[in-house]
Structure 1
Amino acid sequence: MKKANNSKTAGLGRNDSLIAPVTVAATAVTLCAMAATALWVFRLENRSAARARLRQVDAIGTVLAFSAETMLADEELSPLRSLVCLAARDYDLTSCRVVLPDNQVVADSRLAEINTQRLPAQWESASMDLPGPPGQDEIVHRYTLHVPGRGPARLEITACAPQAAASLWEAEAGVGAISVISLLFLLGTTRRLRARSRLFGALRQCLLAAGHGERSRAVLGIQEELGPEASVWNKLLAELEQRQQARVLEQAGRPADGDGASLADQACGSLADGLIVLDGQSFVRYANPAAAALLRLAGPSPAGRRMSELLDSAPLADAVRDVTSRPPGPATVVEHQDANRGWLRITVRRLAGAAQPAICLFIEDITQQRASEKARCEFISQVAHELRTPLTNIRLSVEVATEDHADPVEAARSMDVISRESSRLARMIDEMLSAAQIETGTLCLNRDAVKVDELLREMEADFAAQAADKGLRFHLELPVKCPQIQADKAKLTLAVHNLVGNALKYTPSGGQVKVVLEVNTGDLQVAVTDSGIGIASEEQARVFDRFYRSADPRVGRLTGTGLGLTLVRDVIRLHGGDIEVRSELDRGSTFLVRLPLPKEAA
């Protein structure tokens, strides 16, 4: 014990000795970084100010040059001299003057430099002497002036480059203030770290001792005056010791492995649902493999851990406490959902006849059930919307057709709408009944001789008005000769109507829909091609799934049940054929149906 305490004290001393150099190094790095930052900011500010001054002087010169040309042409020397003086004063110019050839100064911000009081009627384009090169802190711009009918002149502007001395002093003062504040903060942090390092050092020594096999609470305990964490650590050690003792007692009282215990373990381990047994303190005593899989637990058995460590659920914790506090009785059901585990239904029941409180948790994965319920609700909503549209059209058409003195043309058109929408309702009801039969496995085919070309002609007549109303080009291509096939005409018609109806629905006005029938060796091929919105490549594998609808917002704006293509695929496969989709987003889609031919026709 004395040796362990000495090792802890040595560990604390090493931690304290490390804090001082780390703090000094951190302070030095921080100060250097601040100084470098201030120098860099100063250089950037100096360059920015110089560029801004150059742009300002150039803009002033451009405006003055234009004004000077105009005033020289009009011989307005007084306004020109006033303008030059005002520009030099307002924009802090060292000098600003207008010079004629032979160095005649007609305007200057320094009035004493003017040596020409009147403007000559005309002057020669003689060379003009240029002043010497500008100083290091000067900006010099020269502009050639063209005075119509007189000759050239020159505008000279000299300005001082910006000085950033004040900015440098402010940056240095700011860096100094920040450095002092940072130093004070680091000193305060150092004192706090030294106090906390004693606790962390003690914890580190305890963990190292535990790693070498030490289990005595007297050795692994730490002084509680080091902080509240020390008290928590000591309580954890006490709790661990109690759990170890309880486990020893439990193992001592358990009979040797026999056939009964082995069969019970095997039976619980083979359950598809999860099973967890808790004691009165909510510690796990048993968990079968299904429970570990449903809770996404990795590593060793969860036995000995608290249930809250396996699944953080406040309703479950409340249910366990409630069931533990009362005699055995009805079970309590809790549902839990998260992104990792999905939906879980947990039944909490207290075991009757146990010497100590024992709680059984039966865990069932209901993620798929929830998804089906959601899809079913969405399906009912979509079906209600789908049914409302044709019923509304029928009601309005009936009102028009039964009005007194109704126009015969309008009445005939209304009857046509009633007929078309009634057929649409019948197809929708057939589709829903067929989908239900497919789901229950009771869909049967009433096969008979079917001429697919005639079926497609009837389909063309059914959809011609809809295509014309939407402004689509609807085209049907049939072979010269088409053999009959053995098929259920009603189911096949339903499948074709779904494909063509989708093509018309998802093709914008001005597009085209084409249906092509081809006779190949051994099969018939029906291709429904449109120039519509297309299907994204990542969604093409899912378009035949039940209740699936594309995430494309253009699809969401149109009604649909998500069952049509599922029904098409199942009907085609019941006939021994298959269907595939080829599509490109915003370019259109092609659904290709293949139906087998009778051997004598093939």
Structure 2
Amino acid sequence: MPDALPDEGTLYSEQDYPDLMRTVREGPRQFRLSDSSVNPRIHSIITAMKAQSILVVPLIYEEDLLGMLILCESRNNRQFQPDEISLVRSMALQATVALQQATLFANVRELEQVKSEMIRMASHDLRNPLHSVKGYLELLLMDLASRLDAQQTEFVTRMKNGLNRMQSLMEDILNLEKIESQQDIKRQPANMWMVVSEVSESGRSQADLKHQQYIVNLPPQSVLVSGSEIQLTQAFTNLVGNAIKYTPDEGRVEVRSWVENGRFRFEVEDSGFGIPQDRQNGLFQRFYRAQAPGTEDIPGTGLGLSLVKAVIERHGGEVYFSSTPGVGSVFGCWLPLTDTQ
């Protein structure tokens, strides 16, 4: 009777069947209760499985025996035919590939967790001494600033700039790792009018310092996106900050946002240096900086666009850009609106 077979979902450990594991390593084997030559231990296995005969096929990957695929026959004591053996071998091959992929995925996940933890620990251990160095340097400057000549002042300025770059790098690494290590976003309705307003206002002072023409077009006040308002603010701030940073004094930066075909769109256009065509492919990779004439002395970590891409894609959206050297760039993204809109 078919219902005499083991219950669906019954798990068997390979450690419980060492005789079977040794027997089938070289290839498929079949065993029947009526066969008196069957090893008594294998005979008891067939009985425990409520079967009359079994076909056992090894799951082998690169000479490693991962497990076994067992086909049970409970209706009669019969010999399995070649076409049945061929079918089960095909199933075993697919099962082997699936098992190996699952194992590799688990190993990658574990390595990612270890990597993230090491980065967090290293950044934390570096942050405290870095703050100490910056603090003591500021104290020294309070006492010595009036006695430094031009060259010494330049040296100190370089030290301060180097410390600031290190601090920015650590903060960017930690932010990116935090975003990428999160399995799920704590989703809630995020008001895009509030996000864009906050981001654009925070960038206005930077643009004013460079005497740039700064234009902002806000979305309707009722536009909602499901996700993390903090992460989206961080991503948009990176786009606006990059546009201001890579646009010369008295240039033009426009922040615009609107709703189109069930999507919220956010773009930043600038009249900056632009990015050469041959340096655009790696823009969203970690630590990649597409240097162009005029940008050599502009500080940056090469992590901002990686963070933007990670945030937008985790919210179900997509990033895009276009750039022409000597003309400027447009960086933007779209995000799906909430289901209620």
Q: TM-score, normalised by structure 1?
A: 0.29
For 1:435, the aligned partner's letter is: L
What secondary structure, in the 3-state scheme, does the structure 1 residue paired with 2:295 have? Answer: helix
Post-superposition offset of 1:586:
0.8
RMSD: 3.5
Q: Within 5 Å, give how 1:176-325 maps onto structure 2.
A: none
SS of residue paired to 1:516:
strand
- Opposite residue 449 of structure 1, the aligned amino acid is P
CA contact 2:280–2:290 (8 Å) conserved in 1: no
Q: CA deviation at 1:437?
A: 3.2
Is it true that 1:518 corresponds to 2:258 in the alignment?
yes
In the alignment, which of 313, 321, 333 is matched to residue 581 of structure 1?
A: 321
Paired with 1:525 and 1:548, the residues of 2 have a C-alpha distance of 25
Pairing 1:568–2:308 present: yes
Q: State the alpha-carbon separation in 2 of the partners of residues 479 and 436 from structure 1.
A: 30
| Structure 1 equivalent of residue 172 of structure 2 | 431
Whole-Å Cα distance in 1 between the matches of residues 317 and 225 of structure 2?
12
Q: Look up the SS of the partner of 1:551 in the other structure.
A: coil
Structure 2, unaligned stretches of length 5 or more?
Answer: 1-25, 27-60, 64-118, 143-164
1:76-111 Cα shifts (integer Å, max 9, x gaps): xxxxxxxxxxxxxxxxxxxxxxxxxxxxxxxxxxxx
Cα distance change of structure 1 residues 438 and 453 upon mapping to structure 2, 3 Å threshold: closer
- The answer on whether the counterparts of 1:427 and 1:494 sit within 8 Å (CA) in structure 2 is no
2:213–2:252: 8 Å Cα contact kept in structure 1? yes
Q: Name which structure has the greater RCO, CA cutoff 8 Å, separation 6+.
A: 2
Shift of 1:431: 3.3
1:461 has 2:201 as partner: yes
Within-5 A mapping of 1:429-508: 431-438=172-179, 441-442=181-182, 444-508=184-248
Task: Give the superposition deviation at 1:461.
Answer: 2.0
How many pairs align? Answer: 195
Indicate how the Cα distance of structure 1 residues 462 and 517 shifts in structure 2: closer, same or farther if over 3 A, else same: same
CA distance in 2, matches of 1:267, 1:527: 50
- Per-residue deviation, 1:524: 0.3
Specify the code of the residue in structure 2 equivalent to 1:495.
A
In structure 1, what residue type is equivalent to 2:182? T
Determine helix, strand or coil for the equivalent of 1:507: coil
- Distance in 1, Cα, partners of 2:228 & 2:169: 17
Unaligned runs of 5+ in 1: 1-258, 260-265, 269-375, 400-423
Q: Does 1:596 align with 2:330?
A: no
Q: 1:428 to 1:511 in 2, by over 3 A?
A: same
Match of 2:38 in 1: none
Which residue type is aligned with residue 571 of structure 1?
V
- For 2:310 and 2:170, locate their aligned partners in 1 and report how far apart those are by CA, in whole Å: 17
Q: Within 5 Å, which residues of 2 pair with 1:33-432? A: 431-432=172-173
1:466 is displaced (CA, Å) by 1.2
What letter is aligned with 2:177? A
Secondary structure at the counterpart of residue 307 of structure 2 = helix
Q: Which amino acid aligns with 2:334?
A: R
Contact 1:550 1:556 in 2 (8 A): no
Query: Percentage identity across aligned positions?
Result: 33
Report Cα offsets for 1:324-377 as digits up to 9, x if no partner.
xxxxxxxxxxxxxxxxxxxxxxxxxxxxxxxxxxxxxxxxxxxxxxxxxxxx9x
- 1:543 and 1:501 mapped to 2: Cα distance? 16
* 1:427–1:443 distance in 2 versus 1, CA, 3 Å: farther
Counterpart residue number, 1:10: none
Q: CA deviation at 1:600?
A: 2.2
2:238–2:305 CA contact under 8 A, matched in 1: yes
Counterpart in the other structure of 1:313: none
Distance 2:321 2:264 in 1: 16
Shift of 1:479: 3.5
Cα distance change, pair 508–267 in 1 and its aligned pair in 2 (3 A): same
- Code of the residue aligned with 2:208 in structure 1: it is A
Conservation of the 8 A alpha-carbon contact between 1:482 and 1:519: no
Look up the equivalent residue of 2:203 and give its one-letter code: F
Which amino acid letter does the alignment assign opposite residue 464 of structure 1? R
Deviation beyond 3 Å, 4+ runs, structure 1: 424-431, 441-444, 479-482
Larger radius of gyration, structure 1 or 2?
1
